[in-house]
A and B are shown apart, each in its own frame.
Chain A
Amino acid sequence: MLHALLAVIATLIHTALMFGLAPLLIGIVTKARARLLGRTGPPFLQPYRDLAKLLRKTALIPDTATQFYKIWPYITLSATAVTALLVPSFSFGLITAPLSDFITLIGLFAAARGATMLAGLETGFGFGGAGAARDALFSLFTEAALLVLVLTFVMLAHTPTVDGIGTQFRDGHIGLSVSLGFAFAAMLCVALTETGRIPVDNPAGHLELGMVHEAMLLEYSGRYLAMFYYAAALRLIIWMSLISAIFLPFGLANAANMLSWPGGLVLWGLKLIIGAFTLAAFEVATAKMRVFRVPEFLGVALLLGILSSVFLFVATKLGGS
């Protein structure tokens, strides 16, 4: 009974932090990137101000939009929000843990992506359609790579839920292995694509021809655009939490043990900040790819994912005999 109550409280804290800190993380990345480029950059809280500004602006509805124009941002945002509730942040053992099957997560990412693609096609203008077509292309490889990675995780942890995988990797003596190294590299490629960062897409770019995620939102404004922006911010914090929960699970708390929470919170925050700075440094050091180079980049991710499984097969074969 007490455990269930603690899990509920931990889940509430998790929810508040995920939804509250998502724009701040974007702010940190933007600031760090500007600093690395020698500019002052906008303040950390700028994303909150942007969202508040967009909420107060009149929404301009294109005359060629259909009845579904206002539904897509809701679907994108709520599917992403559900994912945010399922991915562990500072603690394992949240009440949503049994739902957090990795394949369900992949499905929820796909649902959010599908709604965004439909939003891009909604008004029937060129850039939205091009962005949606490119996103469809990238998603092929990310989804295949993620599924192969799930196999690696399931073989190591013997459970398909993210919560279980993270707990196993924290408590079990998995150690550093070649497989996990490959899996980590593949996961980073997928995460960069899914969150729309350089080298796949440039969130700060303003050239329509090179846009992917932004191009689909060109016809949205006001509060509907704010929903898409907020979903994008959530996606960044989800992917950072997901990667840190699987590959860097040390120090994460247990929901049942209240004393472990502060340590988990501090370490989660530290991991996010380090992740934000690493991302900024990577983005400054890399150039954006041409659209048709991206499949090659993601093909490498898929190959790494398959290699990580094959190495595990070989390892178990050698270990078993």
Chain B
Amino acid sequence: MVNQYLALSIGLPGHGLHLAYDPLALLFLAILTPQIIATALGPDRKSVAYWLFVAGMVLAVLAAEAFTLLLGFELMSAASWLLVLRGDRKPGTLYAGVAMFSGACLLPALFLPPGGIAFTLILLGAGAKAGLAPLHAWLPRAHPAPSAGVSALMSGGMVKVALYILIRYGFIVLGGAAQPWWGTALIIAGSASVLIGSLRAMLEVELKTILACSTVEHVGLIAVGLGIALRAKALGDPSLAALALQGALLCAIAHGLFKPLLFLGAGAVKHATSTTSLDWLGGLIRGMPRLGGLMLAGCFGMAALPLGPGFAPEFLLLHAVINAADTGEIISRIGFTALLAILGLSAALALGAAVRIIGIGFLGRPRSLRAAAAEEADKPVLLGMGLLALLCLPVALFPGLILLFLNPVINQLIPDAEQLPLGYAPAPLAFLLLLSAGAAYAVLKRFGTKAEREVHAFNGGFGKPPAWLPFGDPITQATGTGFAEPIKRALGVAILGPKTIDPGELYVLDPLRRLNVRFTRAAERVRRATIRQRLAFVFMALVLFLAALGFVQGT
């Protein structure tokens, strides 16, 4: 498997570091590189922890064996924890706890013999790090905490490293022992992430939290693709496996471009207005036209619209699900039909969330004086975002070409796969779109008048606002909360319960918190015990021990 091998004498004593590259590692290195360059343009490059974080990610991807992989993974976790603490301290403990949980799951898994237990542990460890349901609730809290560049790298890069471990072990290292239920577990976890992530992205108000929830959705999409591929591979359907894998990997590439872009933009918004709450923004595009345009490009990808970078992966994944539903057992076919409905819901939710970011945050009237006075973002931030937006272009317009580059990776993961031609051709579509826009422009120019007049907005017939309200009454326009209200009433309550709390919080984090409180109370009771109670403890322990000893010897 590993052709190129490089051993370094640093690292574990007597063992060293072993680096190697193969097509899969190169692909993920290629996913990481643009985001590292884009975020290193910002102020984060001055921090040591940032470079340790980057080094950890690169080391994990290039690792040739389990020790090095784990070392890189833990370095990445520890450095990102330091970076999270430097931002908002609150989710730091939660983040460290989840990182330790991942490490504790991965450590035995990497050295277990191939089999179901090893895969379950990998799924738990890598899934918790990637934000896969039900272990996703920490992600929307922790990812927005650090500075924008680190948030971007965590959402775009760290999550991909976790998925890389999942792919590396699920397809290659443990590949020989693969069972269909591995894929099924991944599909179920992925579809739950897609639904919860996209719904929360629609309902949240903080810009960075919206983006983090959307990351949960995209991780879910990638997991669904990987799950279908794993299941189809185990069931002996290599062409379906290749299709699903194409979708998953292309989704990882696209998400690695537009999500860091959006996070960097959110950081610039925070810098300019000192808030990222949609309910306090509005009309930003007047003060920050370049940032607004770049954010629009990123949201175009996030919404998975045709001619955007996010559409080709969505297209491939949907076709993979349709193909998977076309054959097999009736129960699994019904399951895939439900998955298709979930993907449809989440695609529309993603569009709604993207429209909400642009429409509430960047269009309309300012909702606060700071939003009204926002100035254009700094040059390095715009440069980094521009770089990522530029790299979105080939993914958006020539996905077929990108898929050609993916061929070695797919052949490595699924040896006897045959790639089908892509049924989605953005280049002719773009041509038709430009043609119709041009025709519309020509018709307007030839038959229409060019006259324009700036007037006070119609606003349902209300008059001009008074002079002391320069942008009108902010209350009279839809807020981020208000825009999400119909969806919250119709769908949010049905899925997330009347208080719209994430089930990951409700059923995973809250019981843990309660357990923590109970243990703390018990420990506190022991600590507060009087000397007599303590003596009684010791005496009781002695009696029990002697009784047990006597019982054992008596028999």
Contact = CB atoms under 8 A, between A and B. Distances in A.
B371 to A, nearest CB: 11
Contacts of A226: 448
Nearest to B472: A64
A67 interface: yes
Contacts of A124: 282-283, 363-365, 471-472, 477-478
Interface in B458-486: 458-460, 471-472, 476-478, 482-486
A143 B365 contact: no
Contacts of A146: 344
Given A107-B306, A145-B344, A313-B334, A63 B456 contact: yes
Nearest to A66: B285
A222 B451 CA distance: 9
B344 A147 contact: yes
Contacts of A126: 459-460, 476-478
B459 A125 contact: yes
Contacts of A81: 432, 436, 439-440
Contact of B441 (A68, A74, A129): A74
A173 interface: no
Interface stretch (A132-140, A245-253, A265-273, A275-283): A132-140
Nearest to A303: B341
Contact of B433 (A82, A114, A143): A82
B483 A132 contact: yes
A82 B432 contact: yes
A240 interface: no
Contact of B486 (A104, A125, A137, A317): A137
B399 interface: no
Interface stretch (A1-9, A28-36, A150-158, A256-264): A150-158
A148 B429 contact: no
Given A61-B452, A123-B364, A144-B345, A136 B322 contact: no
B91 to A, nearest CB: 29
Given A58-B452, A61-B452, A77-B440, A122 B432 contact: no
Interface residues of B, number: 87
Nearest to A55: B448
A157 to B, nearest CB: 11
A64 B423 contact: no
Given A118-B358, A219-B458, A313 B330 contact: yes
B326 interface: yes
A121 B423 contact: no
A151 B429 CA distance: 23
Given A101-B423, A139-B348, A150-B322, A132 B358 contact: no
B354 interface: yes
A61 B423 CA distance: 41
Contacts of A104: 306, 315, 424, 429
B455 interface: yes
Contacts of B434: 78
Nearest to A105: B306
Given A114-B305, A118-B358, A61 B454 contact: yes
A72 to B, nearest CB: 9
Given A99-B425, A103-B315, A140-B487, A223 B306 contact: no
Nearest to A58: B451
A113 B359 CA distance: 13
A313 B314 CA distance: 24
A137 B305 contact: no
Contacts, number: 279
A133 B483 contact: yes
A148 B341 contact: yes
Contact of A107 (B296, B305, B356, B491): B305
Contacts of B306: 79, 104, 107-108, 111
Nearest to A95: B428
Interface in B321-349: 322, 325-326, 330, 333-334, 337-338, 340-345, 347-349
A43 interface: no
A58 B451 CA distance: 5
A55 B444 contact: yes
Given A101-B424, A144-B344, A62 B437 contact: no
B551 interface: no
B289 interface: yes
A77 B438 CA distance: 11
A74 B483 contact: no
B303 interface: yes
Contacts of B286: 66-67
Nearest to B304: A107
Contacts of A52: 447
Nearest to A302: B341
Nearest to A84: B436
A148 B344 contact: yes
Interface in B185-203: 202
Given A99-B429, A111-B305, A309-B325, A125 B330 contact: no
A67 B360 CA distance: 15
A291 interface: yes
A210 to B, nearest CB: 13
A121 B360 contact: yes
A155 B455 contact: no
B355 interface: yes
A306 B341 contact: yes
Given A107-B311, A117-B359, A223 B444 contact: yes
B370 interface: no
A78 B433 contact: yes
Contact of A63 (B304, B423, B457): B457
A287 interface: no
22 contacts: A55-B448, A57-B449, A63-B456, A63-B457, A64-B365, A78-B436, A96-B432, A99-B432, A103-B314, A113-B351, A114-B351, A114-B354, A117-B359, A124-B471, A124-B478, A137-B490, A141-B345, A148-B340, A150-B340, A219-B459, A295-B491, A314-B330
Given A133-B486, A140-B349, 20 more contacts: A62-B455, A64-B364, A81-B436, A82-B433, A99-B432, A104-B429, A107-B314, A118-B359, A121-B355, A122-B363, A126-B478, A127-B459, A129-B478, A129-B483, A137-B486, A145-B344, A147-B344, A218-B460, A227-B440, A306-B341
Interface of A: 52, 55-68, 74, 77-79, 81-82, 85, 96, 98-99, 101, 103-104, 107-108, 110-111, 113-114, 117-118, 120-130, 132-134, 136-137, 139-148, 150-151, 154-155, 160-161, 208, 218-219, 222-223, 226-227, 291-292, 295, 302, 305-306, 309-310, 313-314, 317
Q: Which 9 A-B pairs have the closest CB atoms?
A: A129-B478, A124-B364, A121-B359, A144-B344, A62-B457, A81-B436, A147-B344, A124-B365, A136-B352
